[in-house]
Amino acid sequence: MRTFVSAIGSGLGDLLISLPVIQKLIESEREVYLLTRSHRQSGIGKRIKGLKGELPEKEFQAAKGDRYINLRAHPLQTDHIWGSKEFESFFGPSNIEKIIKAIAADEGIEIDYSQLEPLEHNLIPDLKNSIAFVPGSDGFYKHWPDERWLKLAQLLGKSYPELKIVLLGKANESPSVQRLIALGFEWLKTKDLAAAIDAISSCRAVVSVDTGLMHAAVQQGIPTYTFIHPQNFHQRSAKHCFNFFARNCPESCRRDFSLKDGFRAASELSVDLKFEDRECILSANENCMGSITAESVFEKMKSTQ
């Protein structure tokens, strides 16, 4: 029997958080295929050990006897808005790992986020003493202020001069990446998703906003220091992932965080569908993500490396 799986959403991070479901199915010796929801997920199938193949979800046509597991079609998704008071009144605090575990359990699949199986990768020796900074995300509201990245780089450079800091991300899509390149950071250009996974897997540690490459670092077992916006619930529970939680946005931010119509069961989930998306108008010391200090991140890195 062939089994086809669609991730919880259309982003790279959505797929990586869903990966334990796919890997558990592969363990049971089923013929498993990945259905990709967007270009951000394309190409990762060749790095999933034992996967039979991948194809765009929109091209999928089930044959007799096929099993289709659509993690986004479960009532927890279609009937509720994650993060809402209504949802949390019966489910408890919104947490993406807990949500996917519940959905998988209803499909008869038991997954364990404490036992992550890395994607296949090729190590890059030149990066073994590198710290990767991942400042960009589709959601600008999740960005860490430029001043904080600069300060963390200074602290690391002073205490660990042997380390090299490299930027990862798409400069053509991320203003944050563009600005840090302009400030003198070394940008490591990766030609595709596979190359980015190789780079992440080769680094000593990763410091990142909540974005796809952050979830890749967690999957690969790399010490990961990540910044979580109060409106997000994609924090990871792995022991090598260290979550820093920002304070709530001040009223002066004036960002609209009301959930838009269609968020519940959107087939192509995009950031602009969820929230108003724009660069923060506040200074680093005023905005919510700026409440995570470079000093606190540096101290955690010192104590866990």
248 plus 136 within the same structural domain = yes
Residue 303 has pLDDT above 60, yes or no: yes
Which residue shows structure tokens 């958080």? 17
60 plus 179 within the same structural domain = no
Please state the rounded mean pLDDT for residues 143-170.
95
Please state the rounded mean pLDDT for residues 224-235.
88
Per the domain annotation, does 101 fall within a domain?
A: yes
CATH code of the domain containing 206: 3.40.50.2000
Per the domain annotation, does 120 fall within a domain?
A: no
Residue 270, pLDDT score: 43
Contact assessment for residue 175 and residue 196, using Cβ atoms and an 8 Å cutoff: no
Q: What percentage of residues in the chain have a pLDDT greater than 70?
A: 88
208 plus 289 within the same structural domain = yes
Range of the domain at 195: 125-304
Look at residues 72, 106, 140 and tell me which one is the last residue of a structural domain.
106
Most confident of the ranges 272-276, 287-291, 295-299: 295-299
153 plus 263 within the same structural domain = yes
Please state the rounded mean pLDDT for residues 140-146.
84
Per the domain annotation, does 77 fall within a domain?
A: yes
Mean pLDDT for the chain? 88
Sheet holding 130-134, edge to edge: 186-187, 164-167, 130-134, 205-209, 224-228, 241-245
156 plus 227 within the same structural domain = yes
139 plus 242 within the same structural domain = yes
163 plus 225 within the same structural domain = yes
Per the domain annotation, does 13 fall within a domain?
A: yes
Per the domain annotation, does 85 fall within a domain?
A: yes
Look at residues 106, 134, 167 and tell me which one is the last residue of a structural domain.
106
For the segment 171-224, what is each residue's pLDDT rounded down to a tens digit? 888 888 999 999 999 999 999 999 999 999 999 999 999 999 999 999 999 999
179 plus 142 within the same structural domain = yes
For the segment 237-283, what is each residue's pLDDT rounded down to a tens digit? 999 999 999 887 767 666 655 555 444 444 444 434 344 456 666 66
Q: How confident is residue 137, by pLDDT bands cut at 50, 70 and 90? A: confident
Residue 263, pLDDT score: 47
Residue 283, pLDDT score: 66
181 plus 298 within the same structural domain = yes
Q: Tokens standing for 86?
A: 């209504």
Per the domain annotation, does 58 fall within a domain?
A: yes
Look at residues 71, 106, 141 and tell me which one is the last residue of a structural domain.
106
178 plus 257 within the same structural domain = yes
87 plus 153 within the same structural domain = no
Most confident of the ranges 25-34, 85-94, 101-110, 130-139: 101-110
Per the domain annotation, does 293 fall within a domain?
A: yes
Q: How confident is residue 26, by pLDDT bands cut at 50, 70 and 90? A: very high
Residue 229, pLDDT score: 85
Residue 268, pLDDT score: 43
261 plus 138 within the same structural domain = yes
Domain count of the chain? 2
Q: Comparing 50 with 281, which gets the higher pLDDT?
A: 50
